[in-house]
Amino acid sequence: MTGAPTSLSQFTDDIGVAADYDQCSDVDGCGYLKSYTETDPQVGTLTNGKWCNSDGTTVNCNQDVPQGPKGDKGDTGATGATGAAGAKGDKGDTGATGAAGISGWERVNATSGNNASDVKSVTVPCTGSKKVLGGGANTAYNLAPRGQEALVKTYPSADNEWTAEAVEVANDGASWSLTVYAICANVN
């Protein structure tokens, strides 16, 4: 080494820490070394933050720190905050055409004879190939006070017709009628 200190009186500059503690064991704080140039052929490249190794003749500090063994898996961290909503996506393709629904809706009706019969039954068919969706019935009378008729059945008697039945509860001799309604439509 050239310019290296040879006594404690030369430890005055704040650049390097004294390496020989035997020389300064009686000095409080031990002082610092002055800067000097290394000419020792056994010391090669020195790079800050690098790992040092030797090939037997030269020490080089120019390698990355070796990676240690893989550690144990750590605990699961806390759930992060919800991210911002993403941008609106592109419009999707048009879907396939759905099956045809109901079309050709109609209400059909039929009425019994207007007479004093005790029991009346009427069936009303849908037109064409239409199917019955629902139905109902009502009675009508001709004389006051009101007659004593009662609906006893109203139902779909087939896929394409509605039937209702009514009876006269008290035989008062009055004429009355039964009208049946069916709601029909084409159903695909």
Q: List b or e across 152-186, with b for residues whose CB sees 16 or more CB atoms inside 10 angstroms.
A: eebeebeebbbbbbbbbeeeeebebbbbbbbbbeb
**pLDDT tens track for 13-45:** 334 334 444 444 444 444 443 333 444 556 666
| Structure tokens given for 157 | 């008697």
pLDDT at site 145: 55
Overall average pLDDT of the 40-65 stretch:
73
Sketch out the chain's domains with CATH numbers: 8-63 (no CATH), 102-187 (2.60.40)
pLDDT at site 3: 53
Q: Name which of 16-20, 111-115, 146-150, 157-161 the model is least confident about.
A: 16-20
Average pLDDT of every residue of the chain: 78
Which of residues 182 and 169 earns the better pLDDT score? 182
What is the share, in percent, of the chain residues with pLDDT greater than 90?
Answer: 44
- Residue 17: which residues within 8 A CB-CB, separation 6 or more? 30, 32, 33
pTM of the model: 0.48
